[in-house]
A = this chain, B = another copy of it.
Amino acid sequence: MRLAERTGRITGGKSDGWEIYYRTRDMIAAGERVLTLTIGEHDIRTDPQILEAMHKSAMAGNTGYAFGPGKPELRAAIAARVEARTGVPTSWKNVVVTPGGQSAMFSTHMVLLDAGDRALHCDPYYATYPGTIRATGAVAVPVATRSSMNFLPQEADIIAASQGAKTLMINTPNNPTGVVYDRATLEGIARACVAEDLWLISDEVYDTQVWEGEHISPRALPGMADRVVVLGSMSKSHAMTGSRLGWVVAPEPVAEAITTLATNTTYGVPAYIQDAALFALGLGVPFEAQIAAPFRRRRAIAMKALAGANAIRVIPSSGAMYVMLDVRATGMSGEAFAHALLDEERIAVMPGESFGAASAGHIRVALTIADDVFEEAVVRLAAFAERRLP
């Protein structure tokens, strides 16, 4: 019995890039102490007051089908939040609640792309970008960015890669680089999208984690609201990763198409989780700042610990849960560096190669362990790199 050809295409026949993660897991299972800087997940759990709100909703009977685009009050709250943060008029009709940001990403590509269409995405990229595009039957085309330009996507590179593409997906603040796209970069991206008639899919799930400058949504650039789809989520902003509550903000026809698709794919998001999200959004900016604070602190710790390094260039990170380090001065690939660091120091980081060819020779450090242990890890990592200088 044969599976669909689609199945083989999703992974592209390649490794999933998580060897370091699996090795780390096995070491920890064997009782070893490994300082783990691999995963983009908070070292706290979802706040109990949010879980109490969820339980209250469930016990009140919100346990039946909640199919469709989401509860109107949650859609309105998300629309109001987006409008407040970006200044772009946003109706609840622009919002579809999805079971997580990943579902928002998949659904958006599903309604914008037919089999064989070209779909651009920035490189380096979050691990699921190419597979998500391939799962829809479209062709995933990376647009390489350059370490020397702080991995900011360039207008000319997008235009060169386009060749009839229908979509471009970007991510600011960026995973894996920690870079926040500035206005000039976003304006260049917008020009390229207009020139090539591309939908711009803007993954903004880290929009509350910005340490320098400001988060700018390309949906707020003049004339762009009609061709931009924003992907959002409660995962990073409210430490609700496991609750799978995301959303799409899109022109109404796209929102309607995603709703139709959802009827045939997931059939809605649990109402009690929607109510928990509504409660969490009501906690406002102070709560979001509190959730973001540890990453702000640890980024500062990393910057200080790596300031005098000769073997490492720190990519100017100003957001998200990561710093990216250029280790090419050691003569090692990101993969070789990561495996050696794990072998010799029991420190786990993700090789840049796991996020695309553009970040080869780099490593990604997640800011997701306690400050003191994080500092120890970065200091030892820096010393390890210096010893590896040729």
Q: Which residues of A contact B (CB under 8 A)?
A: 1, 3-7, 10-11, 39, 41-42, 45-46, 48, 51, 54-55, 58-59, 61-66, 99-100, 102-103, 106, 110-115, 117, 128, 131-132, 134-135, 137, 197, 199, 226-227, 239-244, 251, 253-254, 257, 260-261, 263-273
Contact = CB atoms under 8 A, between A and B. Distances in A.
A6 B114 CA distance: 6
A291 to B, nearest CB: 13
B7 A260 contact: yes
A154 B268 CA distance: 34
A59 B242 CA distance: 13
Nearest to A263: B128
Number of copies: 2
Contact of A3 (B6, B254, B268): B254
A265 B135 contact: yes
A65 B132 contact: no
A106 B273 contact: no
Ranked nearest first, the 5 interchain pairs of A and B with the lowest CB-CB distance are A46-B63, A102-B267, A131-B264, A115-B115, A55-B55
A268 B244 contact: yes
B264 A135 contact: yes
B65 A242 contact: yes
B111 A267 contact: no
Contact of A10 (B4, B241, B260, B269): B260
B63 A243 contact: yes
A140 to B, nearest CB: 11
Contacts of A99: 99, 244, 266
A276 to B, nearest CB: 9
A29 to B, nearest CB: 14
A42 B61 CA distance: 12
A103 B265 contact: yes
B264 A106 contact: yes
B64 A241 contact: yes
Nearest to A130: B264
Contacts of A273: 270
B41 A65 contact: yes
B102 A266 contact: yes
Given A64-B41, A260-B10, A102 B55 contact: no
A51 B63 contact: yes
